[in-house]
Chains A and B, each alone.
Chain A
Amino acid sequence: MAVRPASGFRDLLKMLLLLELWVGLWVTLKNQFRPHITVEYPRERVELSPRFRGVPRLRFHPENGEELCIACHLCETVCPDNCIHIVSEKKPDGKGKRLVSFEINYERCCFCGLCVDPCPTKPLTAIYMSHDYEMADFKREGFVAPLKVLLNGVDPKDYKE
């Protein structure tokens, strides 16, 4: 919008009474009493959307508590970063395979979620995008998550003021 030069009595009055400046002052005065929007992380955390995609983790069967993963190596195959490493063995009763170790290297993971798509366990996928997002560490080894961490996750540290 082009700036219109002041013309007419109304505009002159508006300019002389500094009307726009008063409007600005009123806005800041009003905002002073609005509730603040700062979230004091880590003392408070924002509520995540159910579709939030954090680090990929494995999960247990919700009813009998066994591992869901059937060691099919599909996620390992599809992973574009080659960050999943699975070692499996034949089950002693001869039917299917089971996990020996399952590692995800979070240094390389790009959170694309492609590992979740081909996972064949129904109706819940064994690997899923969890709601964990705190993964800073001091050592590189800390980013390679073993099976235990993948299944149980890491409890977020609670901070008090």
Chain B
Amino acid sequence: MDQQALIQTLVIPAAQILAVVLVLPLLIAYLQLVERKVLGFMQVRLAPRRVGWHGLLQPIADAVKLLIKEDTVPEKSDRFLFTLAPVVTVIPALAALAVIPFAAEPFRVFGYEVNPFITDINVALLYVLAISSLGIYGVILGGWASNSKYSLLGALRSSAQMISYEVPLGFAIIGVMMLAGSASMVEIVNAQKAAGVWYVLPQILGFFCYFIAAVAETNRVPFDLPEAEAELVAGFHTEYSGMKFALFFLAEYTNMIVVSSIVTILFFGGWLRPFPNVAALAWLENGWLLFVPLVAGGFLGWLADQKLGGGLRLMFAGGIAGAALGVLIARSDVMGLAGLQVPAVSGVFWFSLKVSFFLFMYIWFRGTYPRYRYDQLMALGWKWLIPMSILNVVGTGLVILITG
């Protein structure tokens, strides 16, 4: 094997994996800050704002705290399993990211072709389903090894919940696979481009089932029974502290990002711009020049002081200022930026915008809904989601059969 091929097949994938694994914790740290901010604002109070400008350094402080905290292991616990559990939880969560395409078109670095995804396999969806259900082992092991009744109860609830919601999760995906005729993530998005419509329209029922089941799979509010803090202290990670707790935490948020990415890819056209086939909107392809300042400005404005009720106004002001900057760049071609029409960047921008929306949905749900009771959870899963997702599969099949 010559050097060229060696780099292409070994070094570049390693670099891609490293990039994802290194960027992810930072993203998650700030996702946590955004979660606390959004929850705070929804409850008409201030969120963290003591560390750094409006709390922007809070995630760093939290990470440092978790890293240097004492790592206690309960005396009566099973030491080996207790240490193994967080690792078993975090590895499948990270592994699921391997098949997520952030954009489609490869870009060139030092003459080598680099794809904006780690790998594209033709059974990506099945792989994600298989891998993400492995995460439950970590939860069960953690709950069992802690030798605490709260942990065990949390773990048992978690396993029952995962088994129930795995079914509608799988069925909801089938409709998309039937329409796209493939289980590869890249192929599914390309099929949406060819069809000229995001699959959320023909598959609205599927999207609905998938998103609810996915929220339940990630153990988030309103399905957070495994860690119901009002009943079970903290559920399966009651006994965990320091770095081991941080790993559970990392796994939970990674799963959220994975689920949001899959929703984006399956139902919202992945890296495609809105209305992918309308030529009049082709300028959206370069839209990141305009929208990145808008989103960043809007975010900073929203973060800034809400004392005078000016949060919304500041958000708009920041957004408009950012948009003006974007238009200026796009029009006057400052530093030749407008010529930078990199499809990968555009794809990553649209992709992350959609993913951020679904992450916001997660937090929004957490700020709004009370927790389900155990029997309600089971009733929703078995009596509503499973029949609905099967109905969706049958309906999609009929439509495909009739229209040929």
Contact = CB atoms under 8 A, between A and B. Distances in A.
B10 interface: no
A49 interface: no
Interface stretch (B180-188, B228-236, B302-310): B302-310
A53 B308 CA distance: 30
A28 B307 contact: no
Interface in B181-236: none
Contacts of A36: 40-41, 44-46, 306-307
B80 interface: no
B13 interface: no
A46 interface: no
Nearest to A29: B364
Nearest to B369: A24
Interface string A13-57: 000000001001101110111111110100000000000000000
Interface residues of B, number: 19
B46 to A, nearest CB: 4
Given A21-B369, A24-B369, A28-B42, A35 B364 contact: no
A31 B42 contact: yes
Nearest to A26: B368
Contacts of A21: 369
A24 B40 CA distance: 16
A24 B368 CA distance: 6
Contact of A32 (B46, B308, B311, B369): B311
Contact count band on A: 10 to 19
Interface string B337-374: 00000000000000000000000000010011100000
A21 B364 CA distance: 12
A37 B309 contact: no
A40 B42 contact: no
A35 B308 contact: yes
A112 to B, nearest CB: 34
Contacts of B46: 36, 38, 40
Contacts of B310: 35
Interface in B44-66: 44-46
8 contacts: A21-B369, A32-B41, A33-B309, A35-B307, A35-B308, A36-B41, A36-B44, A37-B45
Interface of B: 38, 40-46, 306-312, 364, 367-369
Interface of A: 21, 24-25, 27-29, 31-38, 40
